[in-house]
C-alpha cells in the first residue's frame, strides 16, 4: 500500500460534529481538501456552519470534495439518529466520524471553578457533552459501519487528561472518560474492521473557548512547550486525517497528543 493511495479520502462520507467554527471547521475543511464529502454538523449557528461549508467547497474544488450543513443537537439521541439517516440518504453510508462537539467551556485559568465550588451536576453536564454526545453518534452510525465491516471514528479528547496544567476538573474528567469510552469501543469493534482513536490537543488558540486566556498564561505555556508555540485549529486537522485514513490502518484505541511536545509518551 503506497502512501498516496492510503490517504485517499476521495468520495468518503465524513461526519464532523461541532464543525461550525474552530477546530471542527478546520477538520471539516481538511477532509474536503482531500476529496471527502463532509457533513458539517452544528447546533444553532447556521451562519457559522454556512461559512464552514463555503470553506470546504473552496478547499475541495480540485479533489472533488464537497460539504453541506446538518443541524442537530448531538446531546439528543433521536436528533442524532435523524441526522445520520439524513446523511445516508443524501450521500451514502458514513465512512468516518469525528466527534468534536463539546459543551461550551471557558478556558480561563484565572476564573476557573475550584473543586469546592463545583457541584456534581457540573461534572454530569460535561460528561453528557463529551461522552454522551459521542455515545449518541456512535450508536447511530455503527449499524452502517458494521454492515460494511469498515469505518473510522476519531474522538477529540484533550492533553489535560495526561497533564492537567490547569485543573479544569469537570471538563478534564469528562475528556478522560471519553478516552476510556473510546478504548472499550476500539476493543469491541476491532474484529469488525472498525477503528476508534482519539486526538488530544493542547491549548488551541484562537477558538471560542480560549479567547479569554490571558497573554501571560499563553506565553508561559509556549515557554514550557518544546515547539515553543500554541496549536492553531489547523494543527489538529492533520492528525485527525491520519487516524481517519488507511495510513493508520493498524492503529486503534490510541491517543495522539497534539500539543507541541508538552506531553510526551
Find residue 151's DSSP bridge partners: 194
Q: For the chain, what are the domain ranges?
A: 3-256
How confident is the model over 48-68, as pLDDT tens digits? 999 999 999 999 999 999 999
Q: Which CATH superfamily is domain 3-256 in?
A: NAD(P)-binding Rossmann-like Domain (3.40.50.720)
How confident is the model over 171-180, as pLDDT tens digits? 999 999 999 9
**pLDDT score recorded for residue 5:** 62
Residue 38's Cβ-count burial label (10 Å; 0-12, 13-18, 19+) is buried
What cell does 81 get?
439518529
Does residue 210 have a pLDDT over 90?
no
pLDDT greater at residue 149 or residue 208? 149
Q: Please, which pLDDT band fits residue 2 given cuts at 50, 70 and 90?
A: very low
What does pLDDT average to over the chain? 95
* Separation of alpha carbons 155 and 83, rounded Å: 18
One-character DSSP codes across 117-146: G--HHHHHHHHIIIIIHHHHHHHHHHHHHH
Q: How far apart are the first and last CA of the chain?
A: 28
How confident is the model over 190-206, as pLDDT tens digits? 999 999 999 999 999 98
Least confident of 28-42, 54-68, 100-114, 202-216: 202-216
How confident is the model over 80-104, as pLDDT tens digits? 999 999 999 999 999 999 999 988 8
Q: Please, which pLDDT band fits residue 3 given cuts at 50, 70 and 90?
A: very low
Q: Decide: 238 and 30 in contact? Cβ < 8 Å.
A: yes
What cell does 41 get?
454538523
pLDDT greater at residue 149 or residue 3? 149
Give the whole-number percent of the chain exceeding pLDDT 70.
Answer: 98
Q: What's the pTM value of the predicted model, to 2 decimals? A: 0.96
Q: Reduce the DSSP state of residue 200 to 3 states and report it.
A: strand
Positions annotated as catalytic residues are 171
What cell does 11 get?
468520495
Least confident of 34-38, 76-80, 211-215, 241-245: 211-215
Q: Please, which pLDDT band fits residue 1 given cuts at 50, 70 and 90?
A: very low
Amino acid at each position: 500500500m503506497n502512501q498516496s493511495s492510503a490517504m485517499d479520502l476521495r468520495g468518503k462520507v465524513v461526519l464532523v460534529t461541532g464543525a461550525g467554527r474552530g477546530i471542527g471547521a478546520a477538520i471539516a475543511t481538511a477532509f474536503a481538501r482531500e476529496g471527502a464529502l463532509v457533513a458539517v454538523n452544528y447546533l444553532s449557528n447556521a451562519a457559522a456552519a454556512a461559512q464552514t461549508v463555503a470553506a470546504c467547497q473552496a478547499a475541495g474544488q480540485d479533489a472533488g470534495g464537497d460539504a453541506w450543513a446538518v443541524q442537530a443537537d448531538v446531546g439528543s439521541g433521536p436528533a442524532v439518529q435523524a441526522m445520520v439517516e439524513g446523511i445516508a440518504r443524501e450521500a451514502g453510508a458514513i465512512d468516518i466520524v469525528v466527534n468534536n462537539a463539546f459543551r461550551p467551556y471557558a478556558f480561563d485559568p484565572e476564573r476557573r471553578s475550584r473543586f469546592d465550588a463545583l457541584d456534581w451536576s457540573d461534572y454530569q453536564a460535561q460528561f453528557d457533552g463529551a461522552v454522551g454526545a459521542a455515545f449518541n453518534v456512535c450508536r447511530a452510525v455503527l449499524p452502517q459501519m458494521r454492515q460494511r465491516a469498515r469505518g473510522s471514528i476519531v474522538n477529540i479528547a484533550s492533553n489535560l487528561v495526561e497533564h492537567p496544567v490547569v485543573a479544569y476538573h469537570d471538563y478534564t474528567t469528562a475528556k478522560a472518560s471519553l478516552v476510556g469510552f473510546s478504548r472499550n469501543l476500539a476493543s469491541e469493534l476491532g474484529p469488525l474492521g472498525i477503528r476508534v482513536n482519539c486526538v488530544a490537543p493542547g491549548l488551541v488558540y484562537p477558538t471560542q473557548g480560549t479567547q479569554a486566556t490571558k497573554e501571560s498564561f499563553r506565553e508561559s505555556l509556549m515557554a514550557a512547550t518544546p515547539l515553543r508555540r500554541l496549536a492553531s485549529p489547523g494543527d489538529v486537522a492533520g492528525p485527525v486525517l491520519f487516524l481517519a485514513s488507511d495510513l493508520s490502518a493498524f492503529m486503534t484505541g490510541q491517543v495522539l497528543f497534539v500539543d507541541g511536545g508538552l506531553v510526551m509518551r
